[in-house]
Structure 1
Amino acid sequence: METLRHIVVFIHLIGFALLFGAWAVEAVNRRYQVTRLMNWGLLIAGVAGLALAAPWGISYDLNYAKIGTKLVVLVIIGAFIGIGSARQRRNEAVPRWMFWAIGILTALNAALAVIWR
């Protein structure tokens, strides 16, 4: 069971890497737009994160405050990506503050996972 949990953690990390990596590519190229790869990264990280929040027969208690905080941050990231995508479909620009917030919140979510025990 622990091996399966590690596989899900790995998939969760892949989702984070897709989301943050796609954002970083756009930031470096100064395009300030939302991409499909960001959507995929968010989806993979979110689904794997929810799977990790389930009690897997582990011998320790889950930190529900941490899980809840990370879920709220994920929902905010998703809202910003959704709003940005909708603006792009209407040929409008994604506000720069929203674009930068996506990257900062993604990094914050990773920091919460690593630092908060």
Structure 2
Amino acid sequence: MHIVGFAITFGAWVAEAAAGRFRTTRVMDYGLLASLLTGLALAAPWPAGVDLNYPKIGVKLVILVVIGGLLGMGNARQRRTGEAVPRGLFAAVGVLTFAAAAVAVLW
């Protein structure tokens, strides 16, 4: 489910990029929320004595917070102006989402 959350966020990002709209959507927010909640569940030391990879958890949490901030800024800008978000901000959401999924799978 953790990877699915990132896939939802990235899939919504790809759909918006393919349509040329460069907007953040609620689906991206929901995917990010799913990634956060499942990540917290995975990071909890359920059985006693399990060694967790704290550097990986820290890196993923920082990436997740940055993505959340970018999505929040994009949503606020869209509500205020009604226009699409800047391309740099939009691209950063996609790159960071892909990076978070890559860290989850490869590290």
Pick the TM interval, shorter chain.
over 0.9
What is the alpha-carbon distance in structure 1 between the residues aligned to residue 7 and residue 25 of structure 2? 14
Where does structure 1 differ by over 6 angstroms across 4 or more consecutive aligned residues? none
> Structure 1, residues 25-56: CA drift from partner, whole Å, max 9, x if none?
00111110000100100001111101111012
Pair 1:20 & 2:10 matched: yes
* TM-score after normalising by structure 1: 0.85
Q: Give, in whole Å, the separation in 1 of the partners of 2:37 and 2:106.
A: 21
Q: TM-score, normalised by structure 2?
A: 0.93
For structure 1, which runs of at least 5 residues remain unmatched after alignment? 1-10
Distance 2:6 2:59 in 1: 16
Counterpart in the other structure of 2:64 = 74
Q: CA RMSD in A?
A: 1.3
Indicate the residue corresponding to 1:32 in structure 2: 22
2:93 is aligned to 102
Q: CA–CA distance in 2 between the matches of 1:16 and 1:38?
A: 9
* Higher RCO structure, 1 or 2 (CA under 8 Å, sep 6+): 2
- Hey, what's the Cα distance between the residues in 1 that align with 2:55 and 2:68? 20
Aligned partners of 1:13 and 1:112: how far apart in 2? 10
The match for 1:93 is: 84
Runs of at least 5 residues in structure 2 that lack an aligned partner in the other structure = none
Residue by residue over 1:75-99, the C-alpha shift from the partner in whole angstroms, topping out at 9 and shown as x without a partner, is: 0000000000000001243111000
Query: Residue 46 of structure 2 aligns with which residue?
Result: 56
- Contact kept? 2:16, 2:22, Cα under 8 Å: yes
Counterpart position of 2:31: 41
Return the offset for 1:114. 1.6
Secondary structure at the aligned position of 1:33 is classed as: coil
* Number of residue-to-residue matches in the alignment: 106
For the structure 1 residues 58 and 17, does the alpha-carbon distance in structure 2 shift closer, same or farther, using more than 3 Å as the test?
farther
